[in-house]
Amino acid sequence: MISKLKKLKQSLSKTRDNIFGKIGRIVTGRKIDDDLLDEIEEILLKSDIGVGATDKIIENLREEARAEKVVDSEEVFSLLKKEMAEILEKNKKKSLIENGFKPAVWLITGVNGTGKTTTVGKLARYFKANGKSVMIAACDTFRAAAVEQLGIWADRSGVDFIKAHTGADPAAVAFDAATAAKTRGVDFLIIDTAGRLHTKANLMEELKKIRRVTEKVIPSEHIFSKLIIDGTTGQNAVSQVKVFASAVGCDGLIVTKLDGTAKGGIMVAIAEELSVPVDFIGIGESIEDLQPFDADEYVEALFES
Protein backbone atom coordinates (compact mmCIF):
# COMPACT_ATOMS: atom_id res chain seq x y z
CA MET A 1 0.00 0.00 0.00
CA ILE A 2 2.74 2.38 0.98
CA SER A 3 4.72 1.64 -2.12
CA LYS A 4 1.61 2.00 -4.20
CA LEU A 5 0.88 5.38 -2.73
CA LYS A 6 4.48 6.30 -3.23
CA LYS A 7 4.34 5.41 -6.88
CA LEU A 8 1.20 7.42 -7.31
CA LYS A 9 2.75 10.31 -5.51
CA GLN A 10 5.82 10.07 -7.63
CA SER A 11 3.78 10.06 -10.76
CA LEU A 12 1.76 12.97 -9.66
CA SER A 13 4.65 14.86 -8.20
CA LYS A 14 5.38 16.51 -11.51
CA THR A 15 1.83 17.65 -11.51
CA ARG A 16 2.09 18.77 -7.98
CA ASP A 17 5.30 20.66 -8.43
CA ASN A 18 4.22 22.30 -11.62
CA ILE A 19 0.71 23.18 -10.82
CA PHE A 20 -0.88 22.15 -7.63
CA GLY A 21 2.14 22.89 -5.54
CA LYS A 22 1.44 26.41 -6.55
CA ILE A 23 -1.83 26.47 -4.71
CA GLY A 24 0.05 26.01 -1.51
CA ARG A 25 2.25 28.93 -2.36
CA ILE A 26 -0.61 31.06 -3.45
CA VAL A 27 -2.81 30.56 -0.46
CA THR A 28 -0.24 30.80 2.25
CA GLY A 29 -0.54 34.05 4.09
CA ARG A 30 -2.96 35.67 1.76
CA LYS A 31 -6.42 37.03 2.15
CA ILE A 32 -9.26 35.49 0.22
CA ASP A 33 -10.08 37.88 -2.52
CA ASP A 34 -11.03 37.75 -6.15
CA ASP A 35 -7.42 37.67 -7.21
CA LEU A 36 -6.81 34.59 -5.13
CA LEU A 37 -9.88 32.88 -6.55
CA ASP A 38 -8.78 33.85 -10.05
CA GLU A 39 -5.47 32.19 -9.47
CA ILE A 40 -7.11 29.05 -8.16
CA GLU A 41 -9.35 29.11 -11.19
CA GLU A 42 -6.32 29.23 -13.44
CA ILE A 43 -4.83 26.23 -11.73
CA LEU A 44 -8.00 24.20 -12.03
CA LEU A 45 -8.51 25.10 -15.68
CA LYS A 46 -4.96 24.13 -16.50
CA SER A 47 -5.69 20.68 -15.09
CA ASP A 48 -8.47 19.96 -17.60
CA ILE A 49 -11.13 20.25 -14.95
CA GLY A 50 -13.11 22.28 -17.44
CA VAL A 51 -14.93 25.56 -17.26
CA GLY A 52 -18.18 24.21 -15.89
CA ALA A 53 -16.75 22.18 -13.03
CA THR A 54 -14.22 24.88 -12.24
CA ASP A 55 -16.91 27.51 -11.99
CA LYS A 56 -18.83 25.30 -9.65
CA ILE A 57 -15.87 24.55 -7.44
CA ILE A 58 -14.92 28.21 -7.22
CA GLU A 59 -18.48 29.23 -6.51
CA ASN A 60 -18.78 26.72 -3.69
CA LEU A 61 -15.44 27.76 -2.35
CA ARG A 62 -16.52 31.37 -2.28
CA GLU A 63 -19.79 30.54 -0.57
CA GLU A 64 -18.27 28.25 1.97
CA ALA A 65 -15.53 30.66 2.76
CA ARG A 66 -18.18 33.25 3.37
CA ALA A 67 -20.50 31.00 5.37
CA GLU A 68 -17.82 29.55 7.55
CA LYS A 69 -16.21 32.93 7.89
CA VAL A 70 -12.93 31.61 6.65
CA VAL A 71 -10.45 34.43 6.78
CA ASP A 72 -7.29 32.40 6.77
CA SER A 73 -6.44 31.64 3.22
CA GLU A 74 -4.82 28.38 4.21
CA GLU A 75 -8.21 27.09 5.14
CA VAL A 76 -9.30 27.79 1.60
CA PHE A 77 -6.80 25.20 0.59
CA SER A 78 -8.31 22.48 2.72
CA LEU A 79 -11.80 23.50 1.68
CA LEU A 80 -10.73 23.13 -1.92
CA LYS A 81 -9.33 19.66 -1.30
CA LYS A 82 -12.46 18.62 0.47
CA GLU A 83 -14.58 19.97 -2.31
CA MET A 84 -12.68 18.08 -5.00
CA ALA A 85 -12.55 14.82 -3.09
CA GLU A 86 -16.29 15.04 -2.50
CA ILE A 87 -16.98 15.46 -6.17
CA LEU A 88 -14.74 12.54 -7.03
CA GLU A 89 -16.06 10.30 -4.33
CA LYS A 90 -19.75 10.68 -4.77
CA ASN A 91 -20.01 7.74 -7.16
CA LYS A 92 -17.59 5.46 -5.39
CA LYS A 93 -18.24 1.71 -5.32
CA LYS A 94 -17.72 -0.84 -2.59
CA SER A 95 -15.63 -3.56 -4.07
CA LEU A 96 -14.31 -4.21 -7.51
CA ILE A 97 -13.19 -7.73 -6.84
CA GLU A 98 -15.87 -9.42 -4.75
CA ASN A 99 -19.03 -9.93 -6.75
CA GLY A 100 -20.62 -12.98 -5.20
CA PHE A 101 -21.08 -14.60 -8.59
CA LYS A 102 -19.03 -15.83 -11.47
CA PRO A 103 -18.08 -15.11 -14.05
CA ALA A 104 -18.15 -11.34 -13.84
CA VAL A 105 -17.62 -9.92 -17.29
CA TRP A 106 -15.67 -6.73 -17.74
CA LEU A 107 -16.28 -5.24 -21.14
CA ILE A 108 -13.41 -2.91 -21.89
CA THR A 109 -14.36 -0.08 -24.22
CA GLY A 110 -13.08 3.27 -25.36
CA VAL A 111 -11.92 5.47 -28.19
CA ASN A 112 -8.78 4.63 -30.14
CA GLY A 113 -5.43 4.31 -28.46
CA THR A 114 -6.50 5.06 -24.89
CA GLY A 115 -4.89 1.96 -23.43
CA LYS A 116 -7.61 -0.68 -23.50
CA THR A 117 -5.49 -3.66 -24.45
CA THR A 118 -2.73 -2.74 -22.02
CA THR A 119 -5.31 -2.28 -19.28
CA VAL A 120 -6.82 -5.69 -19.97
CA GLY A 121 -3.35 -7.15 -19.34
CA LYS A 122 -2.95 -5.14 -16.16
CA LEU A 123 -6.40 -6.07 -14.88
CA ALA A 124 -5.78 -9.75 -15.52
CA ARG A 125 -2.67 -9.58 -13.39
CA TYR A 126 -4.47 -7.56 -10.74
CA PHE A 127 -7.39 -9.96 -10.37
CA LYS A 128 -5.06 -12.93 -10.44
CA ALA A 129 -2.89 -11.39 -7.76
CA ASN A 130 -6.06 -11.09 -5.70
CA GLY A 131 -6.65 -14.81 -5.97
CA LYS A 132 -9.15 -14.78 -8.81
CA SER A 133 -9.18 -16.89 -11.94
CA VAL A 134 -9.23 -14.84 -15.09
CA MET A 135 -9.88 -15.28 -18.78
CA ILE A 136 -9.30 -12.60 -21.37
CA ALA A 137 -10.80 -12.41 -24.83
CA ALA A 138 -9.60 -10.61 -27.94
CA CYS A 139 -12.64 -8.99 -29.48
CA ASP A 140 -10.60 -6.44 -31.37
CA THR A 141 -10.52 -8.30 -34.62
CA PHE A 142 -10.06 -5.11 -36.59
CA ARG A 143 -6.83 -3.35 -35.71
CA ALA A 144 -3.60 -4.71 -37.13
CA ALA A 145 -1.97 -7.16 -34.71
CA ALA A 146 -4.42 -6.36 -31.90
CA VAL A 147 -4.94 -10.06 -31.19
CA GLU A 148 -1.18 -10.73 -31.04
CA GLN A 149 -0.78 -7.75 -28.74
CA LEU A 150 -3.34 -9.11 -26.31
CA GLY A 151 -1.80 -12.57 -26.62
CA ILE A 152 1.45 -11.17 -25.27
CA TRP A 153 -0.42 -9.69 -22.32
CA ALA A 154 -2.08 -13.06 -21.72
CA ASP A 155 1.37 -14.63 -21.53
CA ARG A 156 2.66 -11.93 -19.24
CA SER A 157 -0.23 -12.29 -16.83
CA GLY A 158 -0.51 -16.03 -17.25
CA VAL A 159 -4.26 -16.18 -17.75
CA ASP A 160 -6.57 -18.01 -20.15
CA PHE A 161 -6.83 -16.40 -23.53
CA ILE A 162 -9.62 -16.65 -26.07
CA LYS A 163 -8.29 -15.49 -29.35
CA ALA A 164 -9.82 -14.85 -32.68
CA HIS A 165 -8.55 -14.30 -36.15
CA THR A 166 -8.45 -10.85 -37.65
CA GLY A 167 -11.71 -10.06 -39.37
CA ALA A 168 -13.80 -12.42 -37.22
CA ASP A 169 -17.12 -11.15 -35.92
CA PRO A 170 -16.25 -9.66 -32.51
CA ALA A 171 -19.69 -10.51 -31.14
CA ALA A 172 -19.21 -14.15 -32.04
CA VAL A 173 -15.87 -14.13 -30.25
CA ALA A 174 -17.50 -12.57 -27.20
CA PHE A 175 -20.18 -15.24 -27.25
CA ASP A 176 -17.59 -18.02 -27.40
CA ALA A 177 -15.58 -16.41 -24.64
CA ALA A 178 -18.61 -15.97 -22.39
CA THR A 179 -19.58 -19.58 -22.94
CA ALA A 180 -16.06 -20.78 -22.18
CA ALA A 181 -15.79 -18.56 -19.11
CA LYS A 182 -19.04 -19.94 -17.79
CA THR A 183 -18.11 -23.55 -18.50
CA ARG A 184 -14.68 -23.22 -16.94
CA GLY A 185 -16.13 -21.32 -14.01
CA VAL A 186 -13.60 -18.51 -13.98
CA ASP A 187 -14.15 -15.52 -11.72
CA PHE A 188 -13.51 -12.87 -14.34
CA LEU A 189 -13.82 -12.64 -18.07
CA ILE A 190 -12.23 -9.49 -19.46
CA ILE A 191 -13.16 -8.60 -23.01
CA ASP A 192 -10.89 -6.33 -25.03
CA THR A 193 -12.69 -4.44 -27.76
CA ALA A 194 -11.46 -2.42 -30.71
CA GLY A 195 -10.94 1.28 -30.24
CA ARG A 196 -13.82 3.26 -31.68
CA LEU A 197 -14.74 6.90 -31.71
CA HIS A 198 -18.05 7.47 -30.02
CA THR A 199 -19.17 9.44 -33.05
CA LYS A 200 -19.17 6.39 -35.31
CA ALA A 201 -22.67 4.99 -35.26
CA ASN A 202 -21.89 1.70 -36.96
CA LEU A 203 -19.02 0.94 -34.60
CA MET A 204 -21.15 1.79 -31.59
CA GLU A 205 -23.76 -0.60 -32.97
CA GLU A 206 -21.10 -3.27 -33.17
CA LEU A 207 -20.29 -2.68 -29.53
CA LYS A 208 -23.93 -2.92 -28.54
CA LYS A 209 -24.10 -6.21 -30.35
CA ILE A 210 -21.10 -7.52 -28.41
CA ARG A 211 -22.91 -6.75 -25.20
CA ARG A 212 -26.22 -8.11 -26.42
CA VAL A 213 -24.69 -11.38 -27.47
CA THR A 214 -22.76 -11.74 -24.23
CA GLU A 215 -26.03 -11.29 -22.38
CA LYS A 216 -27.29 -14.46 -24.00
CA VAL A 217 -24.84 -16.34 -21.82
CA ILE A 218 -24.22 -14.06 -18.86
CA PRO A 219 -26.92 -12.16 -16.95
CA SER A 220 -26.83 -8.49 -17.76
CA GLU A 221 -26.21 -7.48 -14.16
CA HIS A 222 -22.99 -9.49 -14.18
CA ILE A 223 -21.64 -7.55 -17.13
CA PHE A 224 -19.72 -4.39 -16.34
CA SER A 225 -18.89 -1.92 -19.08
CA LYS A 226 -15.72 -0.10 -18.30
CA LEU A 227 -14.68 2.90 -20.30
CA ILE A 228 -10.98 3.55 -20.72
CA ILE A 229 -10.19 7.24 -20.84
CA ASP A 230 -6.80 8.61 -21.81
CA GLY A 231 -5.77 10.87 -18.93
CA THR A 232 -4.33 13.36 -21.42
CA THR A 233 -7.74 13.93 -22.97
CA GLY A 234 -9.44 17.26 -22.64
CA GLN A 235 -13.12 18.09 -22.50
CA ASN A 236 -14.04 15.56 -25.17
CA ALA A 237 -13.88 12.84 -22.53
CA VAL A 238 -17.22 14.01 -21.20
CA SER A 239 -18.94 13.25 -24.50
CA GLN A 240 -17.13 9.95 -24.67
CA VAL A 241 -18.62 8.90 -21.35
CA LYS A 242 -22.07 10.05 -22.35
CA VAL A 243 -22.17 8.25 -25.66
CA PHE A 244 -20.54 5.02 -24.51
CA ALA A 245 -22.83 4.98 -21.49
CA SER A 246 -25.91 5.31 -23.63
CA ALA A 247 -24.72 2.56 -25.95
CA VAL A 248 -23.55 -0.17 -23.59
CA GLY A 249 -23.75 1.41 -20.17
CA CYS A 250 -20.73 2.62 -18.29
CA ASP A 251 -20.34 1.58 -14.73
CA GLY A 252 -16.79 2.62 -14.20
CA LEU A 253 -13.88 4.46 -15.74
CA ILE A 254 -10.25 3.56 -15.94
CA VAL A 255 -8.11 6.61 -16.56
CA THR A 256 -4.74 5.84 -18.13
CA LYS A 257 -1.43 7.58 -18.77
CA LEU A 258 -1.45 9.52 -15.53
CA ASP A 259 2.28 8.97 -15.32
CA GLY A 260 2.76 11.89 -17.70
CA THR A 261 2.31 15.57 -16.94
CA ALA A 262 -1.41 15.61 -17.67
CA LYS A 263 -3.42 16.19 -14.53
CA GLY A 264 -6.38 14.00 -15.29
CA GLY A 265 -8.66 16.78 -14.16
CA ILE A 266 -11.20 15.53 -16.63
CA MET A 267 -12.08 12.99 -13.95
CA VAL A 268 -13.42 15.82 -11.88
CA ALA A 269 -15.40 17.22 -14.77
CA ILE A 270 -16.90 13.81 -15.45
CA ALA A 271 -17.69 13.11 -11.81
CA GLU A 272 -19.21 16.54 -11.51
CA GLU A 273 -21.57 16.02 -14.39
CA LEU A 274 -22.21 12.27 -14.55
CA SER A 275 -22.54 9.58 -11.97
CA VAL A 276 -19.75 7.32 -13.10
CA PRO A 277 -16.97 6.35 -10.71
CA VAL A 278 -13.30 6.01 -11.54
CA ASP A 279 -12.31 2.42 -10.73
CA PHE A 280 -8.64 2.36 -11.61
CA ILE A 281 -5.91 4.58 -12.89
CA GLY A 282 -3.08 3.59 -15.23
CA ILE A 283 0.32 4.98 -14.40
CA GLY A 284 2.72 3.35 -16.82
CA GLU A 285 3.25 0.74 -19.47
CA SER A 286 4.24 -2.13 -17.19
CA ILE A 287 1.83 -4.77 -16.05
CA GLU A 288 1.76 -3.57 -12.46
CA ASP A 289 1.13 0.06 -13.36
CA LEU A 290 -2.53 -0.05 -12.38
CA GLN A 291 -4.06 1.17 -9.15
CA PRO A 292 -7.55 1.20 -7.73
CA PHE A 293 -8.61 4.79 -7.73
CA ASP A 294 -8.85 6.44 -4.38
CA ALA A 295 -10.18 9.98 -4.46
CA ASP A 296 -8.60 11.05 -1.19
CA GLU A 297 -5.27 9.63 -2.16
CA TYR A 298 -5.48 11.27 -5.55
CA VAL A 299 -6.39 14.68 -4.23
CA GLU A 300 -3.90 14.30 -1.42
CA ALA A 301 -1.14 13.37 -3.82
CA LEU A 302 -2.10 16.24 -6.07
CA PHE A 303 -2.10 18.87 -3.39
CA GLU A 304 0.69 17.71 -1.20
CA SER A 305 3.59 20.07 -1.37
Ligand X SMILES: Nc1nc2c(ncn2[C@@H]2O[C@H](COP(=O)(O)OP(=O)(O)OP(=O)(O)O)[C@@H](O)[C@H]2O)c(=O)[nH]1
28: partner contacted, choices ligand X, Mg ion, another protein, none (Cβ within 5-8 A by kind):
none
Give the CB-side neighbour count of residue 153, counting CA atoms within 13 A.
Answer: 32
The reply on whether position 114 binds another protein by CB under 8 A is yes
Strand, helix or coil at 282? strand
**Cis-peptide, bond into residue 103, ω within 30° of zero:** yes
Position among 28, 78, 201, 216 found at the interface with another protein (CB under 8 A): 201
The reply on whether position 204 binds another protein by CB under 8 A is yes
The residue among 8, 54, 18 whose CA lies nearest residue 297 is: 8
The reply on whether position 111 binds another protein by CB under 8 A is yes
Count residues near another protein (CB under 8 A): 53
Least distance from Mg ion to the Cβ atom of residue 293, Å: 21
- Per-residue HEC secondary structure of 244-277 comes to HHHHHCCCEEEEECCCCCCCCCHHHHHHHHCCCC
Q: How far is CA 177 from the centre of its chain?
A: 24
d(CA 68, CA 71): 9
| Closer residue to another protein, CB minimum distance, 260 or 292 | 260
126: partner contacted, choices ligand X, another protein, Mg ion, none (Cβ within 5-8 A by kind):
none
The reply on whether position 262 binds another protein by CB under 8 A is yes
The reply on whether position 237 binds another protein by CB under 8 A is yes
The residue among 165, 255, 256, 177 whose CA lies nearest residue 210 is: 177
**Residues making contact with Mg ion (CB under 5 A):** 116-117
**Residues making contact with another protein (CB under 8 A):** 14, 42, 45-48, 50-51, 111-115, 142-146, 148-149, 151-153, 166, 195, 197-202, 204, 230, 232-239, 242-243, 246, 257, 259-263, 265-266, 285
